[in-house]
Structure 1
Amino acid sequence: MQSLWKTIAPDESPLVFTSLAEIYRDIHKEEFRTARIVSVFTWISMLLSCMGLFGLAWYSVECRTKEICLRKVNGATEKQIVLLVCGRFVKWIIWASLLGIPIAWYLANTWISQFVYRAELSPWIFIMSVLLVIMIGIITVIRQSWYAATLNPIDTLKTE
């Protein structure tokens, strides 16, 4: 196209081509930047949350070592001890989710309302996010709870 244009109109300025994708990208540049920033801070907050949850699980297991060992002596299995420790954290995650879902729905609805074409907020988004948070929480806590479940109760009870 450029060579044909130069033969037809050699004195005119060259043709400038712009695709629809480039126009779309320029129009929504701010939203793309905001989405990138939000995703970075989301990953950072998830990492910090997992570290905090791991620290709480470690502290909880350390404080309850004697109780866990007494449960093992009385016949509790590793699975029961893991469920005992993980269940406590899952309850807190569910309470936090029940508190956070209305706030997230309000903020997302407020942000989406500024656009002409809106995507509807589905309840499945919030259900799947709660399930994802529970899964991440269980994966984070399960190492410490498994460690507590596999401790030798005799060694632990001797020292305490």
Structure 2
Amino acid sequence: MTAWPGGMPRPATRAKVIAASVNRRLAKGVARNTAAIPAESVPYVGIGVTLSVTALDIHDACQTMAEINDLLKLLNQGEERADFCATRLPTVAQVVQRLKTDWRASMERVAADARAVPAAMAVPDIRLPTAGETRAVVCPILGGPAWLQC
């Protein structure tokens, strides 16, 4: 690393190191989220997986924001607040409780956000599955629960 007088790395060199670190973190997060899709889709089991992946995403976002703030400081532009770093995730029990009241609002929020994604990104239509679609997925995994009439 080329250094300025006093041993500090040049801003351009430091910016490149930060960009490479952010790039690695983002690639790891994309791979992790993609790998988690099947496990997140399993009824009930997916709650714990989703909470774990979300916790990792929040940690990564905070790390990324710290590095962006390093870049801002290099440019004498101050810092941005990362209020999301204080986000507290619910427990599995809290998620199960909220399933009873908040699932539709949650689905609608995600669907609205997905519709706002540029057309170049393939985003599935978020909708309630039919009974047949639910049976086709749940019955082989759970072995035909009585409530689903497999």
- TM-score, normalization by structure 2: 0.36
Question: Higher Cα Rg: structure 1 or 2?
Answer: 1
Ranked by relative contact order (alpha carbons within 8 Å, sequence separation 6 or more), the top structure is: 1
- TM-score, normalization by structure 1: 0.34
Greater share of helix? 1
